A and B are shown apart, each in its own frame.
Chain A
Amino acid sequence: DQQVKQNSPSLSVQEGRISILNCDYTNSMFDYFLWYKKYPAEGPTFLISISSIKDKNEDGRFTVFLNKSAKHLSLHIVPSQPGDSAVYFCAAPSTSNTGKLIFGQGTTLQVKP
């Protein structure tokens, strides 16, 4: 039962363009969402988060949008840089189990120079 889904395993964009990574969820009780970034041979690192009371959170080139009615969130990277090439995971805290983060399958982003 995958409560957090990233349906696109990979995405390729040109340097300077916008990257849009998508995430869908099934549990309307989720009240917080996070994005983690993972480089090869490294552990995931926290990137940006958004509370369910907001519909947008921006941090430099990274913006996360939340559409609660559609149970959908997206991460926008503008402009994309080759160093952004990584695996991106969206995650949400379990509503039934304090301390548990539920991750999506991840999307591999490749930014071409």
Chain B
Amino acid sequence: DAGVIQSPRHEVTEMGQEVTLRCKPISGHDYLFWYRQTMMRGLELLIYFNNNVPIDDSGMPEDRFSAKMPNASFSTLKIQPSEPRDSAVYFCASSFGTGSFGRNTIYFGEGSWLTVV
């Protein structure tokens, strides 16, 4: 069974450009999460969806960030315009039922490594 699939795995872009990260969650999972990993803050939750509906986007750093989930099998995280401080690893994750109680494991993708120069 395929896990969470993210693309691209690596992205190098110039400051000011638009970046779109893509995610395909595990089939049947009803929660989808976007996390960002940095050295200083570890893993930060940016936004999460339940049944394709955004539930909490309080972690989205700025209006330059936006996320969509048009259907149960696809989500995007967009940064426009991108800045060097956005350089990080962005993880998509999914779960069946809320993984926050630990009873349902959250499954992470392999991450998208973004470098903005």
A positions within 8 Å CB-CB of B: 2, 6, 32-34, 41-46, 49, 51, 89, 91, 93-94, 97-106
B12 within 8 Å of A by Cβ?
Answer: no
| 13 A-B residue pairings within 8 Å (CB atoms) | A32-B101, A33-B102, A42-B111, A44-B43, A45-B108, A89-B42, A93-B101, A97-B100, A101-B33, A101-B106, A102-B45, A103-B35, A106-B43
Known pairs A43-B93, A93-B101, A100-B48; A6 contacts B42 (CB<8 A)? yes
Interface size on B, residues (CB 8 A): 29
When the two chains form their complex, are residues B108 and A34 in contact, meaning their CB atoms are under 8 A apart?
no
Q: Per-residue CB proximity of B39-66 to A under 8 Å, as 1/0?
A: 1111111001010000110000000000
Write the chain A residue with the least CB distance to B111.
Answer: A43
B4 at the interface (CB under 8 A from A): yes
Q: Which chain B residues numbered 1 to 50 have a C-beta less than 8 Å away from chain A?
A: 4, 31, 33, 35, 39-45, 48, 50
Q: Known contacts A93-B100, A98-B98, A99-B31; is A43 also within 8 Å of B91 by CB?
A: yes
